[in-house]
Amino acid sequence: MAAKKTKTVKKAAPKKAAAKAKPWAGRFTEATNALVEEFTASIPYDWQLYPYDIAGSIAHAAMLAKTGIITKKEAGQIIRGLQEVLAEIVEGSFDFSIELEDIHMNIETRLIEKIGPVGGKLHTARSRNDQVALDIRMYLRDVITETHDLLAALQQVLVSLADRYQSVVLPGYTHLQRAQPVLLGHHLLAYYEMFSRDRGRLEDCFRRVNVMPLGAGALAGTVLPIDRQFVAKELGFESVCENSMDAVSDRDFAIEFTAACAQIMMHLSRLSEELVLWSSAEFGFITISDGFTTGSSIMPQKKNPDVAELTRGKTGRVYGNLTALLTIMKGLPLAYNRDMQEDKEPLFDTADTVTRSLAVYIEMLKGITVHQDAMRKAAEDGFITATDLADYLVKKGMPFRQAHEVVGRAVLRCLELRSGLADLPLTEYKKLSPLIREDVYAALSVEASVGRRTSQGGTAPTNLKKRLAVLKKLR
Ligand code: ARG
């Protein structure tokens, strides 16, 4: 799972530079139409692949020397040249050019400008088709590792909240109707489980990302005696792609990553919805700190849960990105097709959206104020322990279905008398069933309801304590 992190420097999108000759200009007699230039270029967004493109090229050059395809001296010149190009990009002096289409041709052209024709040997036994597949895989390894780390950090915040508010009770809901009391910690740890599955999906996806495509050439492999295992090892890949045609035309790994992210966003979106509800005056369960809320330009009293709302909204972008990727790939014949260049924006947008959402969520949750009394008050809703009354009758030997019926009648009687189950007089209970005795009231408290749910995975405080002990050690 652990990939060596390639250093990325976030910088502004490239500016336009003077026209440059295209590396593939040989068979053309006319210039590319300016509209086509703009239309086909990916440099406005794929520039961010530069650290991977350069690291991949350095490993490729080292392999070309090791196998005797180029000399050690030539490889040395190429590698030094690539390091200088990297420095130029990092410090912001590199001139990205739209005529050179993409990051691969921008870097290679600059290399040749710097070190002369020997730079032209770098692309030996390589095509942009396997090169771009390599770059995306390397980029995704870092993004997956980052996302995985962020999920782990978010889980730790959930664990510390659950730990801090161990005794807090709130209503658990089904159909958004008060159902049964639960511990706040238990509620929060439900999200812990979701994010554990998300981490598992990323780990699983990582294994399929971490396969090395370089050496596939344009699609059919190469006549030159390359050493793909060497390049894989240099770049920390677990294995190499078996089939050259699959290597250049496969984007399953990008789709898988986006699918995993769609589920992360879906989980964040559900949590967002709860935070929006809980921070409303109607619920009043939590306050989100000022730093993570915003005001209204017209209603001075308002404090809006925008981070939660935007996270919920951004979920749609990631679903859209997943649909876009699936649709781009559908119907493409083998092997590489230019359609595949359209994979980058959805992919980059997915990575940015998920990592930024997780990062802001981690900080926002840390600063949440829990209003225990409001939660408690809602949990004391007159009928929330109705299931407990049914269970009480079941324990006295009554079949559950019959118990359900008796409790239903008890609720009706309560509504007539404007009381809750916990204060319905014993005389009334006795009319409903002779099995009900004085000890019924002990079963109807919120504490008893929560405390007795000791079945594995249930909300009992003893369960929460045990689970927290395990999770705190996992850190
Ligand atoms: N910019 C291209 C992409 O992102 C790189 C590969 C181009 N290959 C080609 N034969 N035109 O997919």
Please report which confidence band the pLDDT of residue 302 belongs to, taking 50, 70 and 90 as the band edges: confident
Considering the candidates 296, 297, 357, 419, report the single residue annotated as catalytic. 296
Q: Report the pLDDT averaged over residues 449-456.
A: 96
Is residue 175 among the annotated active site residues? Answer: yes
Q: Report the pLDDT averaged over residues 350-374.
A: 98
Which of 351, 376, 401 is at the close of a domain?
A: 376
* pLDDT tens for each residue of 114-139: 999 999 999 999 999 999 999 999 99
Query: Do the domain assignments include residue 19?
Result: no
Report the alpha-carbon distance of residue 178 to residue 191 in Å, rounded: 19
Closest Cα partner for 183 from 471, 468, 474?
A: 468
Closest Cα partner for 13 from 106, 132, 82, 81?
A: 106
Pocket test for ligand 1, best of 42, 104, 128 (most atoms within 8 A of CB): 128
DSSP state, 330?
A: T
**Ligand 1 midpoint to CA 135 (Å):** 11
This prediction has a pTM of: 0.93
Query: Do the domain assignments include residue 5?
Result: no
Write the residue with the smallest CA distance to atom 12 of ligand 1.
341
Query: Do the domain assignments include residue 167?
Result: yes
Which residues make beta-bridge pairs with 173? Answer: 178
Query: Do the domain assignments include residue 311?
Result: yes
H-type alpha helices, 330-383:
344-366, 372-379
- Minimum-distance ligand 1 atom for the alpha carbon of 340: 12
Do residues 197 and 203 make contact, with C-beta atoms less than 8 angstroms apart?
no
Q: Report the pLDDT averaged over residues 299-307.
A: 88
The total of structural domains in the chain comes to 3
Q: Report the pLDDT averaged over residues 344-351.
A: 98
The amino acid at 135: D
Which of 376, 391, 414 is at the close of a domain?
A: 376
460 and 319 part of one domain:
no
Q: Report the pLDDT averaged over residues 145-165.
A: 98
Of 18-22, 170-174, 361-365, which range is least confident?
18-22
84 and 216 part of one domain:
no
For ligand 1, say whether the CB of 256 is within 6 Å of any of its atoms. Answer: no
Q: Report the pLDDT averaged over residues 260-280.
A: 98
179 and 324 part of one domain:
yes
Please report which confidence band the pLDDT of residue 4 belongs to, taking 50, 70 and 90 as the band edges: low
223 and 115 part of one domain:
no
Pocket test for ligand 1, best of 129, 134, 137, 340 (most atoms within 8 A of CB): 129
Q: Report the pLDDT averaged over residues 267-293.
A: 97
Residue 335: CATH number of its domain: 1.20.200.10
349 and 435 part of one domain:
no
238 and 321 part of one domain:
yes
Q: What is the pLDDT of residue 294?
A: 86
Which of 335, 357, 376 is at the close of a domain?
A: 376
pLDDT above 50 (res 17): no
119 and 146 part of one domain:
no
DSSP state, 355?
A: H
By DSSP bridging, strand 177-183 and strand 169-174 are antiparallel
Q: What is the pLDDT of residue 242?
A: 98
Residue 92: CATH number of its domain: 1.10.275.10
231 and 135 part of one domain:
yes
Query: Do the domain assignments include residue 13?
Result: no
206 and 278 part of one domain:
yes
For ligand 1, say whether the CB of 341 is within 6 Å of any of its atoms. Answer: yes
Query: Do the domain assignments include residue 150?
Result: yes
Is residue 433 among the annotated active site residues? Answer: no
DSSP code per residue over 254-320 = HHHHHHHHHHHHHHHHHHHHHHHHHTSTTT--EE--GGG-B--SS-TT--B-HHHHHHHHHHHHHHH
Query: Do the domain assignments include residue 17?
Result: no
Cβ burial 118-152 (10 Å sphere, 16+ → b, else e): bbebbbebbbbbbbbbbbbbbbbbbbbbbbbebbe
Q: What is the pLDDT of residue 1?
A: 58
**Ligand 1 midpoint to CA 36 (Å):** 15
Residue scoring higher pLDDT (241 or 474):
241
**Ligand 1 midpoint to CA 122 (Å):** 17
Write the residue with the smallest CA distance to atom 2 of ligand 1.
341
Domain holding 72, by residue range, is 25-124
Query: Do the domain assignments include residue 6?
Result: no
User: Average pLDDT of the chain?
Assistant: 95
Please report which confidence band the pLDDT of residue 443 belongs to, taking 50, 70 and 90 as the band edges: very high
